[in-house]
Structure 1
Amino acid sequence: MIGDSRRLRRDNLIQLMGSLEQEGTSCRDCSGVCCTFVGNSMQITPLEAWDLHLYLVMEKRWTVGLEERLLETIKNFRLDQPVPSNGLRNFARRRYTCPFFKDQALGCSIAPEWKPYGCLGFNARSGGVKDGENCSSRLDALEAREHLDPNEANDNNVLREKYQWSWQKLSIPEALMAISQEIPFNQSPHN
């Protein structure tokens, strides 16, 4: 069943964060610039969005107000508009401030066990980071994560087929709104 291996899919990234924290390499004193339009262009798969939606429903955070904030983020950062191509970039995405950023150090309001993989894998590279000056994606850990759940690709395909989604990845607000079009805000996606 979709979601049964949610923790397994994130475990190596959560362990990495814990070991970095023990070494004194963490986001604890950082402004959180990576979660803002300055550095964030995070996109997630249907399965990551499904997990995040379930978390928000379980925490009673999936509300009309949250949907309004998601729509406002999509509108303000033009996430639903194509990115103009200058012919030089193959990997262009719009940047946006994550709707779950709390404007403070360690500013994410989502528990690690439910976060998108890319968020978990983006870490400080040294201690004392204050404004995202030495942070990057841990590509080795993100690539290793892809092999932890043999059913992940199938689960993504099941969601795409069931809801007729053609997207592989969307921004966090767009992906969550895709789910909200299928499942009213007061229902669990696992009903």
Structure 2
Amino acid sequence: MLNPKVELKQSVIQGMGIFAREFIKEGEIVWWETPEEQAKRFIVTREVVVSWPEELQRKFLNYAYQISEGIYYGPENGVSNDPADSTNHSCDPNTWFVDDNAMSARRDIMPGEEITYDYAMSEIEEDFILVCGCGAANCRGIIRGSDHLLPEVQEAYGSHMMQHTLHSIAAHGNASKKVKVANAE
């Protein structure tokens, strides 16, 4: 579910995006997923996705996000009816994960501002590559599935990443002091 202060609109970053209609205070929940919503989702392995025709792969991966190593969560047949699926990436996002099923405002979000998150908080596949169009001062240019291992990413978000991302950081043994890898177990 999206906070009622949020709406779907055309984005300058990529396609559609979600935007604040009203002021959203730092720490306020922006997105959360109920068990009912989770039950409607399509969960699939990377191996299955790559076996699909290229067009279906592209559609699915445009809206899907990684929930575990090699596991994706997204709209069946690549058709999304959930505005939250249009949350775009930014290298300087205004939201982050509270847990795997909720995101909060990382800072105050002004009306009209696009709501974004850094895909490094969820995407850990080695072959994940995205040309970034966020325009942030700290833009990485190319977003990779290994970005969660970058010290500057870990310093920026600490433990505000999905659990599988924290597990990956712990497995690589290079967690910054801000990342509480003990919470990832």
Give the TM-score, by structure 2 length: 0.29
Whose radius of gyration is greater, 1 or 2?
A: 1
The structure with the largest helix share of the pair is: 1
Give the TM-score, by structure 1 length: 0.28
The structure with the largest strand share of the pair is: 2
Larger RCO (CA under 8 A, 6+ residues apart): 1
